[in-house]
Structure 1
Amino acid sequence: MGMILTVGDAAFSYDGTRTIFEGVSFSVDRGECLCILGPNGTGKSTLIKCLINVLPLDAGTIELDGREITSLSRTEVARQIAYVPQAHQIVFPFDVIDFVLMGRAPHLSLFASPGRADRKVAEEALVTVGIDHLAHRPVSEISGGELQLALIARALAQQPAVMVLDEPTSHLDFGNQVRVLRLIERLAKEGIAVVMTSHFPDHSFIIPQHVAIMKDGGFIAVGPAEEVLTPGHLGTAYGIDVTITYVEEAGRMVCIPSVCRTP
């Protein structure tokens, strides 16, 4: 089976002189999840914007289902790639169902309104993420965790082949972090290719698939979580000593940071 999303030797700079990232290569197939880790300012969010064709690469390629992404219209990209931004303050009090229904926009003509079939897709997306009971609540009045689930539901309403999430657990409490991660894992198992960024290495043990570690605008390692998440790789990325150990009560490996190194 061909990879649904393939990135080859990608590079980007905002001003043509200071490189944000370069030499980035990876691929993701349907049903796979890639978690991109790395410290602040290393280029993760900029890479995400390139993946959804908001920013053009300076060099390299991004292929979506075998086609160069720059050859596709924004609508064609949106029909295959759904983007979930970091949760943010919603000002307008749309009902949650109407907020999710916005995800149907790539499937509608310019002046068309969502129909009964589109509403059914949105309702099913709410059921999938477990917040259908909030359908008629103003999206501006729900909690941060509920808003993150609504954002994922909106992305699901696009019926994408690929879902790209920028720090989907940012600002969430401990319980909601795990709920969102388990939902992402389930969506991948149902056949969606997932690319997500995170500041927390443990997230890659909760969703145990593939990991890339980004540092200074490039990948220092990419591959299966058990091979990439090593004390050496994490120490290089974050500048601290890290212990990785199996916790029987949790049933998985965990990352434990130690004292920061002396400069």
Structure 2
Amino acid sequence: MILQVSDAGFSYDGRRSIFEGISFSLDTGECLCILGPNGTGKSTLIKCLLNLLPLGQGCIQLAGEEIADLSRTEIAKKIAYVPQSHQIVFPFTVGELVLMGRTPHLPAFAGPGKSDSTTVQAALETVGIAHLAERPVSDISGGELQLALIARAVAQQPEILILDEPTSHLDFGNQIRVLQLIDRLARNGIGVIMTSHFPDHSFVVRQTVAIMKGGNFIAVGPPEEVLTPQNLGEAYGIDVAVPYVTEAGRQACVPKIILKEKGPGFIP
């Protein structure tokens, strides 16, 4: 296992627990999608996985070593992170942004070399945005920026890729493109942990899903076993159907909403 989380817990004030008793493992090429409502502790858990926040209890092992004992550079060589939102002030080109992913691999005061440029080009091509390399990041769309951030993470050549709600600001089409890219990266051997507010995403990036509620995992396993009407109802407080959609070739999560008549000509 490249990542092992055992009985992890965290509290900001030492009194109210944000999450507790979290245990899971991640192997090469595995994808874990963490679902759950707002305020349940998903983003805080990610910060602990990156060692940005120290655990209050339990431990996190990265490649067999306690993550708390590793330097920031050692962690960055193994874990790449794509944040939920990112504001870029300076007009870097897309290529320059992706090149920043090579920073953990450079000696102090050293600049990137030919091999780093080759790695960046490969990352751009993997993500499908090589044609944007010379474009300023201020001139590209939100979906293209998200792909550029993923390309920067790929250029780190990590063993683990962590993404915090990677599709939260994207339109419907770009959501699917990003999910397909994440699925492809996992199939190519990168361990992936992602959070999402959309249960359907677990049927697109298919491996393991965990539902987080009240600071705990209430269910962990394959999406077909975890994404049940009972579990989704407990997590989100609404009635949800999970039918198989023949046209899509997969199950889908559909909230049960009763439409009330709104006037003449309204079709329920």
TM-score above 0.5, yes or no: yes
* TM-score after normalising by structure 2: 0.95
Distance (whole Å) between structure 2 residues aligned to residue 244 and residue 9 of structure 1: 31
Aligned to 1:105: 103
SS of the equivalent of 1:89 reads: coil
Distance (whole Å) between structure 2 residues aligned to residue 259 and residue 253 of structure 1: 18
Q: 1:229 aligns with which of 227, 230, 242?
A: 227
Residue 259 of structure 1: how far off its partner (Å): 3.7
Please tell me whether residue 44 in structure 1 is matched to residue 52 in structure 2. Answer: no
Aligned to 1:9: 7
Cα RMSD for the two superposed structures: 0.9
* TM-score after normalising by structure 1: 0.96
Residue 253 of structure 1: how far off its partner (Å): 0.4
Partners of 1:87 and 1:147 within 8 A in 2: no
Distance (whole Å) between structure 1 residues aligned to residue 43 and residue 257 of structure 2: 28
Distance (whole Å) between structure 2 residues aligned to residue 63 and residue 230 of structure 1: 31
SS of the equivalent of 1:17 reads: coil
Residue 87 of structure 1: how far off its partner (Å): 3.3
Distance (whole Å) between structure 1 residues aligned to residue 26 and residue 35 of structure 2: 16
SS of the equivalent of 2:253 reads: strand
Residue 151 of structure 1: how far off its partner (Å): 0.4
Q: 1:72 aligns with which of 57, 70, 73?
A: 70
Partners of 1:87 and 1:144 within 8 A in 2: no
Residue 17 of structure 1: how far off its partner (Å): 1.0
Partners of 1:89 and 1:140 within 8 A in 2: no
Please tell me whether residue 82 in structure 1 is matched to residue 83 in structure 2. Answer: no
Aligned to 2:148: 150
What amino acid maps onto 1:46 in structure 2? Answer: T
What amino acid maps onto 1:112 in structure 2? Answer: A
Distance (whole Å) between structure 1 residues aligned to residue 122 and residue 217 of structure 2: 37
What amino acid maps onto 2:56 in structure 1? Answer: D
Distance (whole Å) between structure 2 residues aligned to residue 68 and residue 233 of structure 1: 33
What amino acid maps onto 2:250 in structure 1? Answer: R
Structure 2: runs of 5 or more not aligned = 259-268
Aligned to 1:174: 172
Distance (whole Å) between structure 1 residues aligned to residue 152 and residue 138 of structure 2: 15
Structure 1: runs of 5 or more not aligned = none
SS of the equivalent of 1:240 reads: coil
Residue 63 of structure 1: how far off its partner (Å): 0.7
Distance (whole Å) between structure 2 residues aligned to residue 6 and residue 215 of structure 1: 21
- Greater shift in the superposed pair: 103-112 or 85-94: 85-94
Q: Across the two proteins, how many residue pairs are aligned to each other?
A: 258
Please tell me whether residue 126 in structure 1 is matched to residue 130 in structure 2. Answer: no
Distance (whole Å) between structure 2 residues aligned to residue 172 and residue 214 of structure 1: 23
Structure with the greater alpha carbon radius of gyration: 2
